[in-house]
């Protein structure tokens, strides 16, 4: 075993303040501030500037974010609040992209994953004073008010299963369902099933995706999709498949909420000796790393997290700057169908 943890008890280091830098450089605190922030319209001779910079360097000066936040009224942090849904590698990828994009704009992203079985929803935003809060679920009116009076400038809800009227779409997941349905219909399927995820926390996401499938079915003049909730075990998936096949007009293609559900379906099909895609086509969503490893390899809809991230960052920075966020984006750049063998 090679793991270690390093801890230290007391923090002996006394904080280096701008006062110290000023003293060291032989100038006033304000000068230090001007130099370090490259304040416009404050011309400071290079000699002084250099002295200050060197003093700061020598002393290892780190400005106190608390003091700056106090003064400026908001920090340069963006807080993303996530429910404790079982997220996969997709979330990690997106978050890494967001971090990079925000960072280019001088903002730091941190994420708060809500606690498992917590009584009171905690108020991290109070601790952070973020400039903006991102969520993937609706925020109650008074919570939002509380955030605002705590200094949060921008509250962006990236997702809501409630209402499609207002605002600009951030992630049009309905499009995923559409693409799934379009693919299997183009392949000649006439009766479609939908495999819905079991965890309640996921249903906010599942709703829009399912809705997309429904829309396309209706546009194509087909029956609406037959929806089964499919937990992540082979037996349940097998039962769902039996159900679909026993319908008066049997289902021949299933759109799964995501690739994990699709993998469960594949396992269930094997249990029931149902051939995929021969007897039943299956299409997933997300294109997780193991999707290509399934037997048969999973056809799925891939999400381009890097363009998603860029979009989110644009919206947030626009809002922070007091401008109108950009209009809804072209979803074509966001999702692509990855055709493999399962459908």
Partner DNA sequence: CTGTTAGCGCGTTCAC
Partner DNA sequence: GTGAACGCGCTAACAG
Binding site for DNA (CB under 7 A): 15, 17-19, 26-34, 36-37, 39, 42-45, 47-49, 61, 63-64, 67-68, 70-73
Shortest Å, Cβ 35 to a second copy? 18
Instruction: State the binding partner of 30 from a second copy, DNA, none, CB within 5 to 8 A by kind.
Output: DNA
Report the C-alpha gap between 317 and 190 in whole angstroms. Answer: 45
* Nearer to DNA (CB atom), residue 21 or residue 313: 21
Report the C-alpha gap between 193 and 302 in whole angstroms. Answer: 20
Determine how many CB atoms are found less than 10 A away from the CB of residue 319.
17
Contacts of 233 (CB under 8 A, 6+ apart): 264, 267
- Our measurement of the distance from residue 310's CA atom to the centroid of its chain's CA atoms, rounded to an integer in Å, reads 12
Tokens 């429910």 belong to residue: 83
Instruction: State the binding partner of 155 from DNA, a second copy, none, CB within 5 to 8 A by kind.
Output: a second copy
* Nearer to DNA (CB atom), residue 34 or residue 205: 34
Q: N- to C-terminal Cα distance for the chain?
A: 45
Instruction: State the binding partner of 84 from DNA, a second copy, none, CB within 5 to 8 A by kind.
Output: a second copy
Instruction: State the binding partner of 157 from a second copy, DNA, none, CB within 5 to 8 A by kind.
Output: a second copy
* Nearer to DNA (CB atom), residue 40 or residue 188: 40
Tokens of 188: 């000649």
Instruction: State the binding partner of 201 from a second copy, DNA, none, CB within 5 to 8 A by kind.
Output: none
Shortest Å, Cβ 50 to a second copy? 22
Shortest Å, Cβ 248 to a second copy? 30
Instruction: State the binding partner of 48 from DNA, a second copy, none, CB within 5 to 8 A by kind.
Output: DNA
* Nearer to a second copy (CB atom), residue 43 or residue 120: 120
Contacts of 57 (CB under 8 A, 6+ apart): none
Report the C-alpha gap between 130 and 107 in whole angstroms. Answer: 10
Tokens of 265: 């379906």
- Given a contact cutoff of 8 angstroms between Cβ atoms, the answer to whether 282 and 266 are in contact is yes
The DSSP H or E segment spanning 301 is strand 300-303
**Smallest Cα–Cα separation from 202: which of 299, 82, 291, 92?**
82
* Nearer to a second copy (CB atom), residue 24 or residue 97: 97
Contacts of 314 (CB under 8 A, 6+ apart): 325, 326
* Nearer to a second copy (CB atom), residue 174 or residue 193: 174
* Nearer to DNA (CB atom), residue 19 or residue 168: 19
The DSSP H or E segment spanning 26 is none
Shortest Å, Cβ 321 to a second copy? 9
Shortest Å, Cβ 284 to DNA? 48
Return the half-sphere exposure (C-beta side, CA atoms, 13 A cut-off) of residue 1. 3
- Given a contact cutoff of 8 angstroms between Cβ atoms, the answer to whether 287 and 342 are in contact is no
* Nearer to a second copy (CB atom), residue 13 or residue 47: 13
Instruction: State the binding partner of 95 from a second copy, DNA, none, CB within 5 to 8 A by kind.
Output: a second copy
Instruction: State the binding partner of 10 from a second copy, DNA, none, CB within 5 to 8 A by kind.
Output: a second copy
Instruction: State the binding partner of 269 from DNA, a second copy, none, CB within 5 to 8 A by kind.
Output: none
Shortest Å, Cβ 47 to a second copy? 27
* Nearer to a second copy (CB atom), residue 191 or residue 283: 283
> What SS3 class is residue 190?
coil
The DSSP H or E segment spanning 304 is none
Torsion of CA 191, 197, 203, 207, to 10 degrees: -10
């Amino acid at each position: 075993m090679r793991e270690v943890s390093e801890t230290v008890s007391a923090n002996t280091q006394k904080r280096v303040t701008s006062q110290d830098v000023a003293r060291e450089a032989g100038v006033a605190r304000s000068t230090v501030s001007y130099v370090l922030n490259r304040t416009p319209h404050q011309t400071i001779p290079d000699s002084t500037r250099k002295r200050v910079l060197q003093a700061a360097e020598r002393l290892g000066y780190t400005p106190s974010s608390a003091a700056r936040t106090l003064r400026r009224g908001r920090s340069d942090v963006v807080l993303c609040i996530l429910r404790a849904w079982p997220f996969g590698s997709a979330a990690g990828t997106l978050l890494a992209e967001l971090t990079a994009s925000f960072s280019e704009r001088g903002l730091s992203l941190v994420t708060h994953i809500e606690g498992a079985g917590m009584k009171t929803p905690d108020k991290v935003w109070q601790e952070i004073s973020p400039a903006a809060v991102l969520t993937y679920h609706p925020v109650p009116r008074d919570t939002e008010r509380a955030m605002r009076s705590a200094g949060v400038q921008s509250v962006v809800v990236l997702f809501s299963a409630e209402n499609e009227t207002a605002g600009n779409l951030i992630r049009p997941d309905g499009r995923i369902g559409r693409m799934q349905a379009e693919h299997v219909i183009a392949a000649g399927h006439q009766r479609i099933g939908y495999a819905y995820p079991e965890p309640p926390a996921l249903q906010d996401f599942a709703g829009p995706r399912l809705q997309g499938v429904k829309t396309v079915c209706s546009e194509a003049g087909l029956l609406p999709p037959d929806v089964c909730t499919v937990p992540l075990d082979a037996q349940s998936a097998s039962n769902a498949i039996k159900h679909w096949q026993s319908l008066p007009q049997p289902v021949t293609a299933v759109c799964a909420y995501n690739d994990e559900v699709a993998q469960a379906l594949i396992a269930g099909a094997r249990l029931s000796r149902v051939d995929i895609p021969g007897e039943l086509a299956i299409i997933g969503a997300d294109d997780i790393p193991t999707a290509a490893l399934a037997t048969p390899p999973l056809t799925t809809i891939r999400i381009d997290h890097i363009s998603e991230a860029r979009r989110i960052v644009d919206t947030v920075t626009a809002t922070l700057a007091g401008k109108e966020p950009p209009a809804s984006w072209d979803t074509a750049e966001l999702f692509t169908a990855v055709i493999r063998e399962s459908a």
